[in-house]
Amino acid sequence: MVVGMEATYMDFCKHSARYPKSREKEYLMIGLMNEAGEVGGAYKKEIRDNVDNKDLIIDEMGDVLWYLTNLCRVYDVTIGDLMHLNIGKLTRRMTPEMAKEYRESMGYPL
Ligand SMILES: [Mg+2]
């Protein structure tokens, strides 16, 4: 069960979505790729223009989150589910010693 801010945000994303539902998955996949590119573009401009684009990068990361959150709904998972699954995947790549250290320091069940 999703609660709190995560539930509020998931509901907001669902209700602020404006696209043809018949092409929802396609639209969201392309949107996610586009917004990830915008994050990279903002960072690229930091290099080119020697400027600080932190605020723009964070703004674009929010756009990535919107698309990702809507994709989560389509695939019937939550952002929290993704976090849990990703931690599991990445910790399985750790050495047993690293996984044990992580488990003990974070109290996260592996
Ligand atoms: Mg954007």
Do 10 and 50 fall within a single domain?
A: yes
53: CA distance to ligand 1 center in Å?
13
7: CA distance to ligand 1 center in Å?
22
Q: In which band, very low, low, confident or very high, does the pLDDT at 103 lie, cut at 50, 70 and 90?
A: confident
Give the pLDDT score at 52. 98
Question: Distance between CA atoms of 6 and 78, rounded to whole angstroms?
Answer: 8
Report the predicted TM-score, pTM, of the whole model to 2 decimal places.
0.88
Count the domains in the chain: 2
Identify the helix (H) or strand (E) that includes residue 7. helix 4-15
Question: Distance between CA atoms of 83 and 80, rounded to whole angstroms?
Answer: 5
86: CA distance to ligand 1 center in Å?
24
57: CA distance to ligand 1 center in Å?
9
31: CA distance to ligand 1 center in Å?
9
Domain containing residue 98: 77-110
What is the arithmetic mean of pLDDT over 50-73? 98
Q: In which band, very low, low, confident or very high, does the pLDDT at 108 lie, cut at 50, 70 and 90?
A: low
Do 27 and 65 fall within a single domain?
A: yes
pLDDT surpasses 90 at 34: yes
Do 66 and 52 fall within a single domain?
A: yes
35: CA distance to ligand 1 center in Å?
5
Query: Which of 10-42 are b and which e, b meaning 16 or more Cβ less than 10 Å from the residue's Cβ?
Result: beebeeebeeeeeeeeebbeebbeebbebbeeb
Do 91 and 104 fall within a single domain?
A: yes
Please check whether residue 102 is in contact with residue 91, taking contact to mean a CB–CB distance below 8 angstroms: yes
Do 72 and 82 fall within a single domain?
A: no
Do 9 and 63 fall within a single domain?
A: yes
pLDDT surpasses 90 at 95: yes
pLDDT surpasses 80 at 64: yes
